[in-house]
Amino acid sequence: MPDYGHELQLGVFLTPGSRSPRNVVDLALLAERAGLDLVALQDHPYQPAFLDTWTLLSYLGAATDRIRLAPDVANLPLRPPAVLARSVASLDLLTGGRVELGLGAGSFWDAVAAMGGPRRAPGEAVEALEDAIGVMRQLWDPTRRHVRAGGNVYRVDGAKPGPAPAHDVSIWLGAYRPRMLRLAGRLADGWLPGSTGMPPESLATANQTIDDAARAAGREPAQVRRLYNIAGSFDGPGSGFLQGPPQVWAEQLAELAVTEGMSTFILMTDDPGAIRRFAAEVGPAVRELVEKERAATMRPATRGQA
């Protein structure tokens, strides 16, 4: 698979635990001080052990200065897209353009239904997600007088657009199955799987599905950023994925960047030490390896043009 040429970014995926709410705030501040690019938060509104993700993101937006913020991924069945669009745009304005939107079709349907949300079959959930993307993008478009968007599941008919976000907010889809992957290729700005559900050996096939769908929709595959929630251990033996010292991590992640096009790596951890090592030891090494590989790849073409 190709290297899509995206700038490398590093982030951390934090647990929004409600028992010690200050802990997740402190970890986000640590991530910013360490130089990471992104703080991502899981979103399970039916889980009382978690803080509400959008409230927490808003708090973090005020507590931080530079780092970008995103739900990973927002629970669409319990967050109607028209309201979510205004929430995203409002926080993006308040933070000076630091918000992106990870979005999923939904899961844990018993828990969703217990909270008063819908229980959707897989096909209906994907249809709802496609409707939601159209609704949100039109609501963010200040050139429209009225918004008429959506389909059978979500429909907005005559709503006023706005507020427009401070920047073009990216929509990243958490997708694993072919229909969702095709939706990502057609409509999304990014693809956001996790290494636990989509191991490295599965990336090539999934990327091909996304690329084919993008081309069929008249898009370039590079319009879809490839993000990856990752888990590992610095104490591992050096074999297996992300099981070893930082140099092992750097080599494996750089390989995924140049062969599979993965360009945003989001470490799933609540360990301050792991966050520091990821930022200080893994990040610079990954960037150096990828820059060298990209330079080596470009050099013959450059000579031919001289």
DSSP letters, 71-109, are ESSEEGGGS-HHHHHHHHHHHHHHTTS-B-EEEE----H
CA 304 from centroid of its chain's CA atoms: 38
> How many other C-beta atoms lie within 10 A of the C-beta of residue 49?
10
Q: What is the percent of the chain where pLDDT is above 70? A: 97
pLDDT for residue 299: 60
Strands 155-159 and 147-150, bridge-based pairing: antiparallel
Residue 5 has pLDDT above 90, yes or no: yes
| Average pLDDT over all residues of the chain | 95
6: which DSSP letter?
P
- Can you tell me the mean pLDDT for 206-216? 98
Q: What is the pLDDT of residues 262-271, one digit of tens each?
A: 999 999 999 9
- Can you tell me the mean pLDDT for 215-232? 98
Q: What is the pLDDT of residues 167-183, one digit of tens each?
A: 999 999 999 999 999 99
Q: What is the pLDDT of residues 119-171, one digit of tens each?
A: 999 999 999 999 999 999 999 999 999 999 999 999 999 999 999 999 999 99
SS3 content of the chain, % helix, strand, coil (to 5): 45, 15, 35
Residue 251 has pLDDT above 60, yes or no: yes
Q: What CA–CA distance (Å, rounded) separates 277 from 289?
A: 17
Asked if residue 285 lies in contact with residue 250, where contact means CB atoms within 8 angstroms, the answer is yes
| pLDDT confidence bin for 1, thresholds 50/70/90 | low
pLDDT for residue 303: 35
Q: What CA–CA distance (Å, rounded) separates 278 from 273?
A: 9
The answer to whether the bond into 178 is cis (omega within 30° of 0) is no
pLDDT for residue 302: 39
Look-up: residue for tokens 């979103």?
43
Residue 304 has pLDDT above 80, yes or no: no
Residue 306 has pLDDT above 50, yes or no: no
- Domains detected in the chain: 9-305 (3.20.20.30)
> How many other C-beta atoms lie within 10 A of the C-beta of residue 5?
9
| pLDDT confidence bin for 254, thresholds 50/70/90 | very high
Better pLDDT: 236 or 215: 215
pLDDT for residue 297: 84
User: Which residues, in sequence order, are bridge partners of residue 99?
Assistant: 69
Q: What is the pLDDT of residues 82-120, one digit of tens each?
A: 999 999 999 999 999 999 999 999 999 999 999 999 999
